[in-house]
Structure 1
Amino acid sequence: MHPHLRHLITLQNLNAATLVHLLDRAEALRVASAHGTRKLDLLHGRTVLNLFFEASTRTRTSFELAARRLDADVVNFDIANSSTNKGETLLDTLHTLEAMHLDALIVRHREGGTPDFMVRHAASGVSVINAGDGHHAHPTQGLLDALTVRQHRRNFDALTVTICGDVLHSRVARSDVHAFSTLGVRELRLCGPRALLPGAEEFPGCVLGDDFDAMVAGSDVVIMLRLQKERMIATLLPDEDAYFARYGLTSARLKRAAPGALVLHPGPINRGIEIASEVADGVQSRILEQVANGVFVRMAVLAELLAR
């Protein structure tokens, strides 16, 4: 049995039954909404607020589409012109928004732990959904990546999944590890330059290494992470060309993976740094499917938390 969810902050403590239930619900909503062309009234009368303290195009748009397709009212909070820029504390902002009787807050913040802070200090029955916090978690990305893989590979326990790039600073990597390990994949490999790999103690059970050619060999799923260019300077990494030579996913490197291996990337893509264009746009790429699945996963989470 899966417990009823009030909030979604991380996938770390969710059991496999809950994850599978959310993936099943996303698939059911895809069918019920005729692939997003038919509006459902599951959240009629509910109000959802997008509270993005950090720039985001695809995640914010995806949550907004998900809420609107369930017939919720959506408000986008304009941080750039808000009172937080006038020195208002996060707590005051939270209580001010709660006074407007919202049903859900979708929160993205550069500081890890902000959505959890809001859960602990919320005075009302508002549900909090983490749309990405610091290096900590991005739970709906973990779910949509798992859904994308499940649509092509039914048995997680037969899969070797390799995640490559800036693992150390990646909330996507953490949520993907939580999702895939809970769903029982055979092997999880984390690859990147030594300066961008976390300590092994943070990811028990994962294989860590800095040789991408060796790590990609035999992989059924290859998830490339966005490299934030500012990290190259901060951690004295090689330049973009040298990084691509060692850690870029090229057609030649992809041939080392298992036949028909799936290629994922959370976006936005730095072409020619993390991934070659012919791979990003190639037959094994599932990147645009991830984007489409993001809307249905977020519909599933909103419906799970808010449907009466």
Structure 2
Amino acid sequence: MSYQNLQLTQDGKLKHFLSIEGLNKSILNDILDTAESFTSITDRTIKKVPILRGKTVANLFFEASTRTRSTFELAAQRLSADILNLNINTSATVKGESLLDTIQNLEAMQIDMFVIRHQDSGSAHFFAQHVRPGVSVLNAGDGQHAHPTQAMLDMFTIRRHKQQFENLTVAIVGDIKHSRVARSQIHALNILNTGQVRVIGPQTLIPKDCETLGVQVYHDFDQGLKDVDVVIMLRLQKERMTGALLPSEKEYFQQYGLTSDRLKLAKPDAIVMHPGPANRGIEIESSVMDGNQSVILQQVTFGIAVRMAVMSMIASSSENEQ
């Protein structure tokens, strides 16, 4: 079963959120518009709406996470859901219980929605295939495959600052090869008809077939950065690398680190983004990360509204199916 068929209801609404791939522009815009409606909640004295009241959301994080897990938890809380955070290090999976058995046991506790981060690509798709009808799965990152809510909060951040995508040039810089975020960003940017999407990095960190995703590849950072509207920096995914792909972190920073001087090659009003965690002095200079063009902390804030949007849309489609 394709991601598109699995993710959507018969009338084309979100049932699961596993990947940007397979979705259309209308759904992405619905997520962005719905997120916009949730941004004002943070200004309220009581930061809650009753959309998920009576529902239970289980956060299953098999990999370490700070921003994603925290913002998913806050998003569920602000939608009035009950939340179960499963500590994988102390769960039965470390005793040999299979992932499928874990899911089925949690389902027996009447879980309505699973938020899953796992080190294996395709794991969220596997979970979605095996949950009972009416239960939804949200992918919080699976291996090197996808991180759809991160991509959507990045799209929301870009739209907030640039209003539209059609005339933009967006550069994604760094370890494209091992980045699930980059793949989801590329799919989202192309679905939203972004003018030009560039990927920049050394040959060892860019997939050989990258052009087939609809991007222009640059190995020279200065050339790729020229006149761009948005710069998205990525960290080196050392935990996923095998072999010596880089001479040294110092040399990498010299060739692909975003400095204040290098940023001048982009448009004067270019924004700088990073999905985190950022490594100062390796892919980005502190003066840039903390500078006026950086919107990195805004990305974190917007992540709550975007994840609220996805959860609320899934809850709405689930109710309509029942």
Q: TM-score range by the shorter chain?
A: over 0.9
- Aligned residue in 1 for 2:33: 24
Q: Which residue of 2 aligns with 1:80?
A: 89
Q: Please state how far the C-alpha of 1:228 moved relative to its aligned partner.
A: 2.6
For 1:92-103, list aligned pairs within 5 A. Answer: 92-103=101-112
CA contact (8 A) 2:178 2:237 kept: no
In the TM superposition, residue 290 of structure 1 has moved relative to its aligned partner by 0.2
Match of 1:9 among 18, 24, 31: 18
In structure 1, the partner of 2:143 is 134
> Quick check: 1:172 aligned with 2:181?
yes
Secondary structure in structure 1 of the residue aligned to 2:17:
coil
Cα drift, residue 124 of structure 1: 3.9
Gaps of at least 5 residues in structure 2 are 1-10
Q: Match of 1:287?
A: 296
Residue 252 (structure 2) aligned to one of 228, 238, 243? 243
CA root-mean-square deviation: 1.6
SS in 2 for 1:163: strand
- State whether structure 2 residue 237 is matched by structure 1 residue 208: no
Q: Secondary structure at the match of 1:152?
A: helix
- The answer for unaligned runs of 5 or more in structure 1 is none
TM-score by length of 1: 0.96
Task: Find the aligned partners of 1:78 and 1:232 in 2 and give their Cα distance.
Answer: 26
Give the deviation of 1:238 after TM superposition: 1.9
Match of 1:191 among 192, 200, 223: 200
CA distance in structure 2 between the aligned counterparts of 1:295 and 1:119, rounded to whole angstroms: 23
How has the CA–CA distance of structure 1 residues 36 and 286 changed in structure 2, closer, same or farther, with 3 Å as cutoff? farther
2:234/2:283 contact within 8 Å kept:
yes
- Give the 3-state SS of the residue equivalent to 2:166 in structure 1: helix
C-alpha distance in structure 2 between counterparts of 1:36 and 1:148, whole Å: 24
How many Å separate the matches in 2 of 1:295 and 1:35?
Answer: 15
Whether the 8 Å contact between 1:200 and 1:208 is mirrored in structure 2 is no
Equivalent residue number for residue 77 of structure 2? 68
Q: CA deviation at 1:123?
A: 2.6
CA distance, structure 2, for counterparts of residue 36 and residue 85 of structure 1: 41
Counterpart Cα distance in 2 of 1:300 and 1:142? 14
Query: Does the Cα contact within 8 Å between 1:137 and 1:174 map onto a contact in 2?
Result: yes
Q: Is the 1:232–1:238 contact (alpha carbons within 8 Å) kept by the matching residues of 2?
A: no
* Length-normalised TM-score, structure 2: 0.92
Q: Percent identity?
A: 52
Q: Which amino acid aligns with 1:141?
A: Q
Question: Contact (CA 8 Å) 1:7, 1:127: kept in 2 or not?
Answer: yes
2:307 maps to which of 294, 298, 302: 298
| Contact 1:132 1:138 (C-alpha < 8 Å) held by counterparts | yes
Q: Supply the AA of the counterpart residue of 2:275.
A: P
Cα offsets for 1:12-31 (capped at 9, x unmatched):
11111110110000010112
Q: CA deviation at 1:227?
A: 1.0
83 and 202 in structure 1: CA distance in 2 versus 1, 3 angstrom threshold = farther
Does 2:125 match 1:116? Answer: yes
C-alpha contact (below 8 Å) 1:49/1:102 kept by paired residues: yes
